[in-house]
Amino acid sequence: MSGSEQENLVKSAKSLDFIRKRIVEDLNSGKNGGRVETRFPPEPNGYLHIGHAKSMNLNSGVAAEFNGACHLRFDDTNPEKEEVEYIHAIQEDVKWLGFDWGQHLYYAADYIEQFFQYAVELIRRGLAYVDHLSPEQIREYRGTLTSPGQDSPYRQRSVEENLDLFERMRQGDFREGECVLRAKIDMAAPNIAMRDPAIFRIKHAPHHRTGDKWCIYPMYDFAHSLSDAIESITHSLCTLEFEDRRPLYDWVLDNVSSPCHPQQIEFARLDLTYTVLSKRKLLQLVKEGIVSGWDDPRMPTLSGLRRRGYTPAAIRNFCSAIGVDKTNSVIEIGMLEYYLREDLNKTSPRVMAVLRPLKVIIDNYPETQVEEFEAENSPEDPAAGTRKIPFSRVVYIEQEDFSENPPKGYFRLSPGREVRLKHAYYLTCNRAVKDERTGEITELHCTYDPESRGGGTPDGRRVKGTLHWVSAEQAVTAEVRLYDHLFSQANPNAVPDGQDFRSALNPNSLVTLRHCRVEPGLAQASPGSRYQFLRHGYFCVDPDSSPGQPVFNRTVGLRDTWAKLQKKG
Ligand code: ATP
Ligand code: MG
């Protein structure tokens, strides 16, 4: 890096977050030879969620800003919980979000031989021992936050004995839990993480990558610090709960002939209202069938958000806006939705869809006539072009757009009232037909003003309401899934004692409407395409669609001005 480049970095450091400031300091002091290398290390035991997006956005963003690289590393040294399905899903989600690991795709499991050799090195230095205490005894001997731990009777084994036992652990001579390799640090350390933590344990389980080669697997802290060092990571960014384990991260690297010593820096994890982000809880929702799968559009997983209609840009913009911090806090989900609307507003074509149809017969419109209206796909962007929408004697409007006894401030259709049909004509309601038995309104009889074509009249008469509509004969029947937050309590992680997070589930998080009518142009809409349904919000075509039978997911509503008015009134 040139001197002026460094100066610029120093200047801009004033407005940087604490992680970027630290990186700038390191660059200025010549650490790591001016290199910045980060990693995103998911454990393949579940799908990625919006919290992981925060981590990726940070790691990948930092690497890009400082001309470095960001590795994607599978933290896959626990053979039991990990599945190949997750490895594929994670890569797909990372790519979708727009992060490119380039040549830097790694698997911690590929380093097990090196971890083994580093462990041997610790044994040779008298800094690790094979412990034959049972798991329960190890727990007892560990002590508590207020009392020191106790040395294991096996702590003084000789180097030779430890080397022999560790090799026999590798050979499969012992049962699971019979013994474990521990770092020899300090059983009286105030930080419990430093009380001779286990670094290799026995697991007679095949691994997706190494097969039956290993029956011992490294523990997280040991594998993680060494993986970072093996990959020459410069800054190892992780969430705050690892702060207490940083001394162990450093101890490992200080006590083996490690190629380098990355700097661990902790930041606050993302937490969102009305959402759980624990993989354990998300897995439970999937396993118990509370949601339809990891990609259920109500899930905070990237695959769920994608299916719901989120754009990668909306998620990245949100992650950048929340920034990074040193204290945990809960972000309003409304903020995520703000960035979502902001992006969708720019990119989604407008269409008309009637979710709860009410038939309107225009008595003075010629019976067999069909007209076409030209409608712009985006009122803000002429380049988005136009489309043709048919109009005929029978149209559907929204049930809630008619009121027999309109309350004050209601400007939509009611008996004797005139409104505008968007892109088409002025329409006056003459009478409502009711089902004799139920009293339900089944259709409206209206008349239109032929002079109001396109939305105005020669006499300049004004109407207050503009309704969306579809032409009955040409419209396509669609299923629409109205999603809401999966939880009805703002903090589902803090439900009252004796209940679990499932008691906070929102029973109305999915409402399915099967008789919606949409513009004919949407008959073949391809899964993943996004639209703004006028006056309703943003919708995305679900993969459950088939040609002529589209299924739409509500991504997010528009802010409902009527609901706001009602609240005020
Ligand atoms: P869990 O403990 O719920 O299973 P995890 O944090 O262990 O999740 P990993 O797959 O290990 O999940 O996470 C990969 C990376 O993503 C880690 O660096 C982790 O710190 C980061 N990460 C996970 N959850 C969040 C979150 N909510 N906010 C920010 N970063 C996160
Ligand atoms: Mg983890």
Which ligand minimizes its atom distance to the CA of 280?
A: 1
**512 near 434, Cβ under 8 Å?**
no
pLDDT value at position 83?
A: 86
Residue 301 has pLDDT above 80, yes or no: yes
| pLDDT tens-digit map of 86-96 | 999 999 999 99
Q: Indicate yes or no: pTM above 0.85.
A: yes
**362 near 395, Cβ under 8 Å?**
yes
Do the first three CATH levels of 279-349+478-568 and 354-468 match, i.e. the same topology? Answer: yes
For residue 15, what pLDDT band results from cuts at 50, 70 and 90? Answer: confident
pLDDT value at position 80?
A: 85
For residue 566, what pLDDT band results from cuts at 50, 70 and 90? Answer: low
Residue 256 has pLDDT above 90, yes or no: yes
Q: What value does the mean pLDDT take over residues 495-509?
A: 88
Closest C-alpha to ligand 1, atom 13 = 42
Residue 227 has pLDDT above 90, yes or no: yes
pLDDT value at position 563?
A: 45
Question: Does the C-beta of 78 come closer than 6 Å to ligand 1?
Answer: no
For residue 559, what pLDDT band results from cuts at 50, 70 and 90? Answer: confident
What Cα–Cα distance (Å) separates residue 131 from each residue in 73, 99, 157, 271, 495?
Answer: 30, 43, 9, 39, 40
Backbone phi, psi, residue 171, to 5°: -75, -10
Mean pLDDT over all residues of the chain?
Answer: 94
Question: Does the C-beta of 277 come closer than 6 Å to ligand 1?
Answer: yes
For residue 177, what pLDDT band results from cuts at 50, 70 and 90? Answer: very high
CB under 5 Å of ion ligand 2: residues:
43
pLDDT value at position 496?
A: 75
- Nearest atom in ligand 1 to 59's CA: 18
Of 53, 41, 560, 43, residue with least CA distance to 280: 43
pLDDT value at position 457?
A: 87
Question: What amino acid is encoded at 132 in this protein?
Answer: H
Question: Does the C-beta of 54 come closer than 6 Å to ligand 1?
Answer: yes
Closest C-alpha to ligand 1, atom 10 = 42
* Residue whose structure tokens are 């290390």: 41
The domain 35-267 is placed in CATH, from the list 3.40.50.620, 3.10.180.10, 1.10.287.810, 1.10.287.3510, at: 3.40.50.620
In 240-369, beta strands by DSSP E:
263-267, 350-351, 353-354, 357-362
Per the CATH hierarchy, to which homologous superfamily does domain 279-349+478-568 belong?
Ribosomal Protein L25; Chain P (2.40.240.10)
Give the residues across from 433 on adjacent strands.
443
| pLDDT tens-digit map of 28-82 | 999 999 999 999 999 999 999 999 999 999 999 999 999 999 999 999 999 988 7
Question: 377-386, 527-536, 547-556: which has the minimum mean pLDDT?
Answer: 377-386
80 CB burial (10 A radius; 0-12, 13-18, 19+): exposed
**468 near 558, Cβ under 8 Å?**
no
Domain ranges of the chain: 35-267, 279-349+478-568, 354-468
**Assigned CATH topology for domain 354-468:** Ribosomal Protein L25; Chain P (2.40.240)
| pLDDT tens-digit map of 335-378 | 999 999 999 999 999 999 999 999 999 999 999 999 999 999 98
DSSP track, 33-48: GG--EEEE---SSS--
| pLDDT tens-digit map of 235-249 | 999 999 999 999 999
- Nearest atom in ligand 1 to 238's CA: 20
Instruction: List active site positions.
Output: 43, 269, 279
| pLDDT tens-digit map of 402-417 | 999 999 999 999 999 9
pLDDT value at position 6?
A: 58
pLDDT value at position 499?
A: 81
**469 near 422, Cβ under 8 Å?**
yes
Of 308, 327, 250, residue with least CA distance to 555: 308
Question: Does the C-beta of 44 come closer than 6 Å to ligand 1?
Answer: no
Ligand 1 mutation target, pool 47, 50, 55, 283, most atoms within 8 A of CB:
55
Which ligand minimizes its atom distance to the CA of 73?
A: 1
- Nearest atom in ligand 1 to 278's CA: 3
Question: Does the C-beta of 493 come closer than 6 Å to ligand 1?
Answer: no
pLDDT value at position 2?
A: 58
pLDDT value at position 523?
A: 95
- Nearest atom in ligand 1 to 282's CA: 3
Tokens of 270: 């993302």
3-state SS class at 195: coil
Q: In whole angstroms, give the CA distance from residue 530 to residue 25.
A: 44
Tokens of 425: 């004509």
Question: Does the C-beta of 278 come closer than 6 Å to ligand 1?
Answer: yes
Q: In whole angstroms, give the CA distance from residue 276 to residue 55.
A: 17
Express as a percent the part of the chain with pLDDT over 70.
96
**505 near 540, Cβ under 8 Å?**
no
Which ligand minimizes its atom distance to the CA of 94?
A: 1
Question: Does the C-beta of 307 come closer than 6 Å to ligand 1?
Answer: no
**451 near 444, Cβ under 8 Å?**
no
